[in-house]
Amino acid sequence: MLLRLSLGEGPAPSYAALAGELRMTASEVHAAIDRATQAQLARKDSSGKATVIREALRLFVQHGARYAFPVVRGEVTRGMPTSHAAPPLNALMAPSNDLPPVWPHKSGAVRGPAFYPLYPTVPEAAGSNPALYELLSLFDAVRGGSMRERALAIAQLDERLGH
């Protein structure tokens, strides 16, 4: 939710619009924004629209993501590349003979070990928004990558979150 809001594409979307874009229910969006506000990662304006506190989000991703959202891995499956195998890190790293980590997805074209996403609808949401796909893949590199992958991902996230 916060990664999508951090894209800053125009005025803050309504909860219903966010729900449609992220393939969630409006009540899930509302609850997520309430949790983010309580955690001081976002604030609401007088109309109830959420704004991301970018520095807080950046620090949370850098220092808390891997602890709050530990990676769950699985068997080799079809899916959508993530972490170091997806943009933008795949362009910054030397090719590997290892199978790429993937979010399991029925229409995925790449085979690799399952790297379960933060939320079941992440592949659909990322598939329709390339900028969101990059942020989610970078987030995955922070929470489940090697030390080098985490460092590269944090540097990329710093650029995107305006640090």
Q: Per-domain residue ranges for the chain?
A: 2-68, 73-160
Per-residue model confidence as pLDDT tens digits over 18-66: 999 999 999 999 999 999 999 999 999 888 888 999 999 999 999 999 9
Q: Full-prediction pTM beyond 0.75?
A: yes
Neighbours of 67 (CB within 10 A): 8
pLDDT (tens digit, 9 = 90+) per residue, 121-144?
999 999 999 999 999 999 999 999
Residue 163 has pLDDT above 70, yes or no: no
pLDDT digits (tens, 9 = 90+) for 68-84: 999 999 999 999 999 99
Over residues 86-104, the pLDDT tens digits come to 999 999 988 888 999 999 9
Residue 41: the pLDDT is 96
Assigned architecture for domain 2-68: Orthogonal Bundle (1.10)
